Structures are given as structure tokens and as C-alpha cells.
Structure 1
Amino acid sequence: MSHANHAPLVNRSKLEADIQGGSVAKGHNRQEVSDCFNHVEWSECMETHTLHRGRLIDHLQLVVKDLTASERFYRAILATLDVPIGGGGEGYFWADELFVTSIDSPAALGALTGRHHLAFQAQDRATVDRFYQAALAHGGQDNGAPGERVYHPGYYAAFVLDPDGNNIEAVYHGEAKRSAESVEIKF
């Protein structure tokens, strides 16, 4: 495969040396990352980088038509991921950074949020399988059975549509650890 018209792939041995030497943050600089993300062959790009994820999202709100059906669905799938429902009240419930509100709640302003794609990290392939089965048993629709995907080697995922048509995924592509157990917010 010719890469003449594309940015070059990052030199793996250089990145590994930089990581060990600590001379470049997490092993690569902005230009190398930019070159890779502009590259057409995503699977090759993903093989040459180590991705580091932190707690970028403060919260995500989904507005739903049927809060009871959605709570039943999310309670079941989140249980497979060892994430409990954190609480709830009139017109809403939450789990970790996910807030789900009814269309008539003050936060929703009377409008559905539209279709979203939300991916949850799974601890292993068996968890992805359990997520998929729990989703189907609690009102979800198949949108891609558990299996390897082409996004990069080792990307094992399942996709379902929640009761409002949101594309919900569970993915395992190696050990996932949070950068912090929690972020404390005082208000």
C-alpha cells in the first residue's frame, strides 16, 4: 500500500524512545499526532499510537420520551458495566456523568436531544457480551452484535439502540483505567 499522498506514519521506535526518555509528553508531539489523524489508514494509525484518555466530559444529558423505559434500559446495561444508578428525582436519573431527563423536565426545555452515539468502556469481552444481552432484554434493539470491529486491532464492541434510538455501544480494546476515580465539584 502506497502512502505517497498521505502524511507519513509516526516512527514507532522513536515514539517508544521518547516515551522512555520522557522528552515528549506521552511519546509524541502535536505534529506527529496531526500527521497520523490526517492519515487515511486509521487502523495503521491506531497501531502506532498509545491513546491516553482522561475525564474530559463533565456530564452528558440525554432527553427521552419515556423516562421509565429508559431507566429500566440504562439500569440493566450499566449494571453489566458495574456502574450503579447514582440517583434520580422528578423527571430525571443519573449514573456517573450520564444524566437522563424526561422531555418535560426543566433541563430538557421540551425538546428531545436527537440521536447520539455513546460508548461505554467494558472491562473485558464477556462484559461486552453481557451488555448486549441485557440491552436486548430491556427494550434495546440490535445495532451490531458483539464482535471484532475494523477500527483498530482488538476493538471488540456491541451496539444497540436505546428506547429513543440513541446508538449505545460497549467496547473493550484493552484494559481501561480512569485517570481519576472521581472529580470533586463543590457548588
Structure 2
Amino acid sequence: MDTQHLHRGRLIDHLQLVVRDLPASKRFYTAVFDVLGIPLGGEADDYFWADELFVSTPGSEAALGELTGRHHLAFQARDEAMVQAFYEAALAAGGTDNGAPGERPYHPGYYGAFVLDPDGNNIEAVYHGPARRSAESVEVTF
């Protein structure tokens, strides 16, 4: 994966999380990214980044001294095994269970796992695979 490639035409260009404990966040995200096959793009004393996610301390120039608050980020996985590996790696790297791997009712074939990162952000890995049951049996409420 080319970490310096600019992608045009995406809805989201980049995201920034401002975290309390950068070393804890780096351990967590490095473990998650290793499983998902995403290399770190770069780092300094007050930030690191991978693909379009930038993670920094409140003291970094771009953060303006403020934490970002709680967010939900979902990373795509290539199969259910990768979702399981994400979940295990995230927990081993300091994450907290927020939903074990399994099929979800969001749409047929939605297989995901949820973990809270060290700052309480809801981090998910999802695989959009074939449905295990008919679409008629799936009830979705928002």
C-alpha cells in the first residue's frame, strides 16, 4: 500500500482523533492496522497516521489543545477471519469489548466486531459478505 498516494473523489478525505495517551493509542491502532494490512504512514512525537486517519495529542499543532470526543470508525475487513483477528488484536492491545464478532442485523451478510479504543472511541471491523439468512428475516431499526 502506498502511504503517500492522494485519493480524489472520496466522501471523506481524512479524519483526526485527538487522544489523551498517544503511546496507548499507537499500541492499539498499530495492532489493529497490522491485522487489517494497513501500514503506518508516518509518526512524530505528537502524532501518527495511517491511510486517512491522523491521531495526535492535544498539544499537536493541528489539535488546538482539544480532545475530539467519542467517535465510531469502521474499518473494512476482507473476510470474517480478519474481523475475528481484529477483535483479538484490539483486545490484546488495550481495547475493551463493545460487541464480539458476529453477524449483525444492519443488512444481510454484515459481519462485524466492535472494540472501544483507549479513549472510548467505538472502533469496528466489518466484512460485507454473503447473507446467511434471507433478507426477509432481517429486521433493521434505527
Shorter-chain TM band: 0.7 to 0.9
Aligned amino acid, residue 140 of structure 1: G
The yes-or-no answer on 1:60 pairing with 2:23 is no
Q: Aligned-pair RMSD on alpha carbons?
A: 1.2
Q: Report if the CA contact (8 A) 2:111-2:129 is conserved.
A: no
| 2:26 equivalent in structure 1 | 71
| 1:151 equivalent in structure 2 | 106
The yes-or-no answer on 1:88 pairing with 2:64 is no
Q: Deviations over 1:110-150 (max 9, x none)?
A: 11000000000000000000000000000000000000000
Structure 1 segments of 4 or more deviating over 4 A? Answer: none
Task: Give the SS at the match of 2:83.
Answer: helix
Higher strand share: 2
Measure how far apart 1:90 and its partner are. 2.6
What TM-score comes out, normalization by structure 1 length?
A: 0.64
Larger radius of gyration: 1
Structure 2, unpaired ranges of 5+: 1-8, 131-142
| Aligned 1:162-177 pairs, distance under 5 A | 162-174=117-129
Structure 1, unpaired ranges of 5+: 1-53, 176-187
Higher helix share: 1
What TM-score comes out, normalization by structure 2 length?
A: 0.83
**Aligned counterparts of 1:127 and 1:56: Cα–Cα separation in 2:** 25
